[in-house]
Amino acid sequence: MQLFVESRGKIKGAYFPLEMNMPEDATLGMLKNGIAHLVPGLPIARQRLTDAQKKPLVGDEKRLMDLGIENNARLAVKDLGPQISWRTVFIVEYAGPLLIHPIIYYLAPLLWAHFGYQFDKSLVQQLVLVLVVLHFVKREMESVFVHRFSNATMPAFNIVKNSGHYWLLSGVLLAGGVYSPSLGAQAVQGSIRDNVVYMGACLLLWVVAELGNLQSHIILMNLRPKGTRVRQIPRGALFELVSCPNYFFESLAWLAITLMTLSLSALIFLVVSTVQMTLWAIKKHKNYRREFAEQYPRQRKIMFPFVF
């Protein structure tokens, strides 16, 4: 099979078009390897291949003929630029709040003292610190030992955008609001946030949510054998009701923090993160239905059981 690969945009180190002679049963991955061999500065992770109709070619394990590529086809390759692994991105994202919360927690009394505010730490502030740290330690451990990614890398610059959500919203915004005098021991005394039963109920909700989230991630991990990109229909637990229970439980955990603190900063983060996760869930739900068609359970909602 003879193919011609044009360049989309500037790609240094080769003269285009590339003339590629591939076996009849060649896969997309084999083609990418061939391009990487001819253009050393364009490794597989940086390649984005499209056909003559500018349709992206995906699935390195798929045969070119199964992707509709015929003899003498003309393809195009684009350099996606420097890449970084998704696992690294996740680790960096979650490291932000993991460091920011303890720093602001311990420095807050000193900072507020300069403005004439003296306060002692309340039970709710101490509890939130522990829960937030545990949440992001869990996320770091999942990133290393549980998550399996469909794509190995992403554009390196995107790490700044992706980290902003966690470092600024769940880090600076949430910590700055929760560890302020408005939730100090004197401010919450006699309120519901000083009630042990109420706090215990919020804590129980948080624990259930975190365990449900972990269970969902483990189910997803077991669907994809290590080192593969196999996709299967997730089943069991809350997957029988919704396509993305991991997002549902994540939002439930932050709801518990919001109820615990009754803080505006916690509410802002809850709303922003839930909206973002809902958008991700809608996209994944559509992908499931498109990929598995009639095999995918029709009764499943997107993210919120029995509702949406």
Candidates 2.40.110.10, 1.10.357.10, 3.10.20.90, 3.40.50.300; CATH matching 2-81: 3.10.20.90
pTM: 0.84
273-293 pLDDT per residue, tens: 999 999 999 999 999 999 999
128-164 pLDDT per residue, tens: 999 999 999 999 999 999 987 766 677 887 788 888 8
180-206 pLDDT per residue, tens: 999 999 999 999 999 999 999 999 999
Residue-level pLDDT at 280: 95
List the one residue out of 233, 242, 240 whose CA is nearest residue 293: 233
243-263 pLDDT per residue, tens: 999 999 999 999 999 999 999
Alpha-carbon span 244 to 304, nearest angstrom: 8
Instruction: Name the band, by pLDDT with cuts 50, 70 and 90, for residue 100.
Output: very high
The residue type of 90 is F
CB atoms within 10 A of CB 104: 20
210 close to 135: Cβ distance less than 8 angstroms: yes
CB atoms within 10 A of CB 244: 27
pLDDT at 52 over 70: yes
Residue-level pLDDT at 227: 63
Domain boundaries, the chain: 2-81, 84-295
Instruction: Name the band, by pLDDT with cuts 50, 70 and 90, for residue 99.
Output: very high
204-218 pLDDT per residue, tens: 999 999 999 999 999
List the one residue out of 242, 265, 213, 252 whose CA is nearest residue 101: 265
Query: Could you tell me which residues come within 8 angstroms of residue 37 by beta carbon, excluding any fewer than 6 positions away?
Result: none
Residue-level pLDDT at 229: 66
293 phi and psi, to 5 degrees? 50, -125
Write the burial class of residue 38 (CB in 10 Å: 0-12 exposed, 13-18 middle, 19+ buried). Answer: middle
Query: Could you tell me which residues come within 8 angstroms of residue 218 by beta carbon, excluding any fewer than 6 positions away?
Result: 146
